[in-house]
Structure 1
């Protein structure tokens, strides 16, 4: 027996109940049961704290629809949202709840036509849903009048804080009447949000709803521990295992998003990227395709995915490990909703395992380890599906009289078994070709844990990769991300071309396909101050600062029995400082670093938006000058 009360007992009118029934709602969520009576009966300010997906929009939207005067075409409710997508989604949701009320709800956000918004505001609007930057713009223009405002709602307040909107919010609130009602909904309540509440709210009621355990129980959570370079192959296998994959794939960076969606598209999957560099029109088009099932995969960053709600997702894939526990909960909570089960899969590179273990400990979710599906198992599953589909077609006995003569002609003089086999080969050969799946290496934790950073056999000369030596290292301020970025920029290489990167104190190494390696060598053929090119081929017997047996040069010298009798200027007998363990964290899909370019505040709808600065191109024979940790120019 549910402990939730019925909608009719919350004080909602028959008109609203009818609208809810038309939408298929049966009973309210916990946040709705707690907030609606406070807003309708007690008429107090409310702070609602609950996770995304708990029905917060209806919790504040239904009371607003009850109280707003439909006969007065004035802005009586203002809802502030952190992103364009959430503003559009909230406006659509409230519009669907109004029933037969003659109310105008407008979404106002940056990136959309200002002229269209001005015309709509001039005609008269009852409820405005918008992003802080664009709302402030309209207030400065005088096109938005808040004189008759009854409600102000801060939706996803903590997200707006993270995105740097606090000052804009305060500026908007200063221009609202004192006798308004203020509602603040947020998943968390950091100090700046509490200060906002104290400053602008009057004795608010605090409603806190614990995360619903049913949500996590409906989501089957698993993880694969695999090498970073095997993630794409694992992803394609996961997709192929499902009869109807419909999922959201999370990456950490915009570059990684574009690269992964491109690779999936090239492999024949219907995938589109979603990140902050896309225009509003592009975002809406992609989300529209996803909702009408024109595409089945969206590859998104956390920032771009904030506020969007795609129903009935079968899978959420963490291609990149989430930044923290809260991000993990937010991601996996997008599937397994409304009583429907979903699957959340996380790809964990060996060096990320400690961080992922912390996420598992903090969430207390049952996240089990599994192996990547075997290629032959996938082929067997596909074969079974084809057989079931064709058998079902044969059993339907549809009106196929027009094809019977053709079938009889085909059977004349042909072996029926061979004929059917030929047809199956023609139409299903690609689906049943096991060679399309590449081999996946086993767990690398044992190798990584001992700090052995020898290049794997996958990137040796025999595998078609050339090992390159770069005469610059950490002491020059170089790190892996900068090295990969610059090589990509100068020679047009892709992430997957630059493998097994190792940056040492005074030099670095990278493996690349032979053709790409030649381009890199030619681009940096100019000689530096030492009289040698900045980038050359690594010596065959020393591809990574070690010989092929893994011993250092000093190891070989120390093996000499006569070293004491042969003193040299290098001093072979001196105690040698152990090499510092290299933290080989190469990741081939967009430098999956912990500090994401999208973890910084995004100001999509603000005119002072500025994208992350990229290093400007310089002469191909030199690395760009950097400040801070760079101690000397790369092209001495």
Structure 2
């Protein structure tokens, strides 16, 4: 097993990262750190966001810095204020505790005078956004003559934001650099051109496939009509009561409009777009990081550089115009080894763009059914019950009132109490979803046959180029399952990966599962005859007469 000790880092840095809980390097760290520690090689690292890139370049920088020389020796350029601050905080946490290494962040939206003062006091590493750094260069407030190491982080993001000329200007103003390190999630032609012009035979590594999606992210889509897009979004949010996510829109008008609608309906949500002042933006991000709000709606420009841990869902309210932008959106979840969901609302007109994105990230998107009103109510109910049963009752002043509480409920039976709790908690949901329409499209126009045809015969699909077999199982929504939990249950039972599965069709009492033929026997062997909540599971080939649709 590769360890940080074996990579060649100095003892002080090893002690710091050990205190942070770092035990084993990620793939990008394992491959990059030994190369970057040489300090003389140009480097290109292609890896998705959330793979540990900051430590991959930050630890070697701290190792290479000459602590006795109090002038800028390393420059990290990144696209946004948020990422600039995040990198600065990370470097400060990585650096040896007793080492007097100074890291200075310079970025727009705040006093340039104070940043100039800090630079004049002396610093070792400058972390900067391009615009503010150029201002400082033109004011002769920063000396880049002795910069030895230049890091371009999120290089593709910077080019997408129009910083190409700025980057070239900055590189021309660091004439004595010994090495340039470029990190990017994707490799468009512009990145390749920058590496050819300003780097000398760079050592290049790729973690995963170029442009490929993070393996920890489940990519899903919901087929809907444009007129139902907002209602579909609302239903998905209601169906995921523990959601902590970012919703992406294409325009700031959409971001603001959807936010206002959801706020009127009682949701904890804020918008992040270009019309906000820096102070307003900081306030929104602070509330989001503290989880005072569950959801953030953002445009792509406004969300660039956001790195918030624990995001469970990324929702593409509209697919981006540029397919590469999808990679950056989805990369906000599934970070640091955690799993996440990136889901998209797709109208028939957007089907072609969805296929393009699938090819780009080399990942198959799973088609999900838009939850019915009953599904939403069931999910909310079980979430509330689980939350209530897991509540900590080991302490609290309420014990004083227990005798009075017992007296109040003396003549009320347990079933009536449960009914009254449900009525208080779910009255709004029950009324809203009582006669909710079915929002699912019967043909999402992606070349698939209608549900009616799909229900009668197995299909061959592109994923894996395998023939799909349909299995019947006597478990359904009445057993407390919803689509996602049922998917996790059958994968856990069978020890299979979700890539072997096709469409899952759930009814109240039974379900039908499309699965690659090669994996069907393993799933049946793992599940058929086992017990679930006191009754025997029956699973067999749906087309051999063992299972009939109701």
In 2, the alpha carbon distance for the partners of 1:151 and 1:42 equals: 8
Q: Deviations over 1:421-448 (max 9, x none)?
A: 5565345433443448853544286999
Partner in structure 2 of residue 162 of structure 1: 160
Q: Which residue of structure 2 aligns with residue 178 of structure 1?
A: 176
For the structure 1 residues 447 and 309, does the alpha-carbon distance in structure 2 shift closer, same or farther, using more than 3 Å as the test?
closer
2:132 corresponds to: 134
Query: Can you give the 5+ residue segments of structure 2 that lack an aligned partner in the other structure?
Result: 448-550
Of 90, 93, 116, 1:93 maps to 90
- C-alpha contact (below 8 Å) 1:315/1:344 kept by paired residues: yes
Residue 244 (str. 1) matches residue 238 (str. 2) = no
Provide TM-score, normalisation by structure 1: 0.64
**Partners of 1:215 and 1:336 within 8 A in 2:** no
Structure 1 residue runs of 5 or longer lacking an equivalent are 450-636
Q: Give the drift of 1:364.
A: 3.4
1:61-140 matches, within 5 Å, as 61-100=58-97, 101-140=99-138
Tell me which moved more, 193-202 or 175-184: 193-202
Q: Structure 1 239/193 Cα, relative in aligned 2: closer, same or farther at 3 Å? A: closer
Say if 1:147 and 1:177, in contact at 8 Å, map to a contact too: yes
- Separation in 2, partners of 1:177, 1:447: 55
Correspondence for 1:433 among 414, 418, 431: 431
Partner of 1:40: 37
Q: Specify whether residues 409 and 196 from structure 1 end up closer, same or farther in structure 2 by C-alpha distance, changes over 3 A only.
A: closer
Aligned counterpart in structure 1 of residue 46 of structure 2, from 44, 49, 53 = 49
Aligned 1:322-341 pairs, distance under 5 A: 322-341=320-339
Q: 2:57 aligns with which of 56, 60, 63?
A: 60
1:69/1:424 Cα in 2 relative to 1: closer, same or farther (>3 Å)?
same
Residues 436 and 264 of structure 1, relative CA distance in 2, 3 Å threshold: farther
The TM-score with structure 2 as length reference comes to: 0.74
Q: Is the 8 A contact 1:51 1:211 kept in 2?
A: no
Q: Distance in 2 between matches of 1:265 and 1:187?
A: 34
- What's the offset of the Cα at 1:235? 1.6
Q: Does the 8 A contact of 2:51 with 2:335 survive in 1?
A: no
| Structure 1 partner of 2:346 | 348
Q: In the alignment, which residue of structure 2 is the partner of 1:369?
A: 367
Matched, 1:21 2:31: no
Partner secondary structure for residue 183 of structure 1: strand
Q: Which has the larger radius of gyration?
A: 1
> d(CA) in 2 for partners of 1:69 and 1:103?
9
Superposed CA offset, 1:85-108 (max 9, x none)? 222222122222113132221211
CA distance in 2, matches of 1:249, 1:23: 31
Taking the aligned partners of 2:187 and 2:135, their CA distance within structure 1 comes to 27
Counterparts of 1:53 and 1:163, CA distance in 2: 20
Query: Counterparts in 2 of 1:309-324, with a 5 A limit?
Result: 309-324=307-322
Query: C-alpha distance in 2, partners of 1:380/1:186?
Result: 43
Equivalent position of 2:357 in the other structure? 359
Q: How many residues align?
A: 446
- In structure 2, how many angstroms separate the alpha carbons of the residues matched to 1:398 and 1:203? 66
8 Å CA contact retained: 1:76, 1:127: yes
The answer to whether the Cα contact below 8 Å between 2:377 and 2:433 also exists between their aligned partners in 1 is no
Q: CA RMSD in A?
A: 3.0
User: Contact 2:186–2:210 (CA<8 Å) still a contact in 1?
Assistant: no
